[in-house]
């Protein structure tokens, strides 16, 4: 089964309590449950990491090669600041999809730029918790083996 590394960046452990008008009332556990259901449907296996620490995220991405078929990441605030996570994704050797709950382009100007966007396969932003399932579907397509026909 294809293994996918799911990374939830800083402050996402607060979902449900944090700014529900922007991020919704669902918790991170709700998101992970939704992801688990989608992964089962897509015949994928997930390893989940939530971290508030840039270095921990960099290390997890650095160990992904050979272990995971792809990475699903919401880098949260690090999206806009972290050259280290950007470089780790560029060097990862496996495809990554960037997801956001909110539409980062419809928010404050400092959220309009993603350092990750040029080094990921693509970005899904603004669909709430559904962004994660859509991201997993994108990874399923990206990591599909070509058929033998
Ligand atoms: C976020 C958007 C970021 O700008 C913000 O810092 C977050 C969450 C989102 O999922 O909408 O923490 O990545």
Mean pLDDT of each 10-residue bin along the chain, 149 residues long: 97 96 95 98 98 98 98 98 98 98 98 98 98 98 74
Domain at 2-109+121-144: CATH architecture: 3-Layer(aba) Sandwich (3.40)
Nearest-CA residue for atom 6 of ligand 1: 77
What's the pLDDT at 144?
87
The C-alpha atoms of residue 132 and residue 6 are separated, in whole angstroms, by 9
Q: What are φ and ψ of residue 7, in 5° steps?
A: -120, 120
Q: Give yes or no for residue 111 CB within 6 A of ligand 1.
A: yes
**Phi and psi dihedrals of 128, rounded to 5?**
60, -145
Q: Residue written as tokens 């397509």?
A: 141
Q: Which residues contact 113 (CB under 8 A, 6 or more apart)?
A: 80
């Amino acid at each position: 089964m294809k293994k996918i590394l799911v990374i939830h960046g800083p402050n996402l452990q607060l979902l449900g309590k944090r700014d529900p008008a922007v991020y919704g009332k669902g918790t991170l556990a709700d998101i992970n449950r939704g992801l688990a259901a989608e992964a089962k449907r897509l015949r994928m296996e997930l390893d989940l990491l939530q971290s508030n620490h840039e270095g921990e995220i960099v290390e997890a991405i650095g160990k992904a090669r050979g272990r995971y078929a792809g990475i699903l990441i919401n880098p949260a605030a690090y999206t806009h600041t972290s050259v280290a996570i950007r470089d780790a994704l560029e060097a990862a050797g496996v495809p990554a999809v960037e997801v956001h709950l909110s539409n980062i382009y419809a928010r404050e100007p400092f959220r309009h730029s993603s350092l990750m966007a040029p080094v990921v396969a693509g970005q899904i932003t603004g669909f709430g918790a559904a962004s994660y399932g859509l991201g997993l579907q994108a990874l399923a397509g990206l990591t599909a083996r070509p058929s033998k026909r």
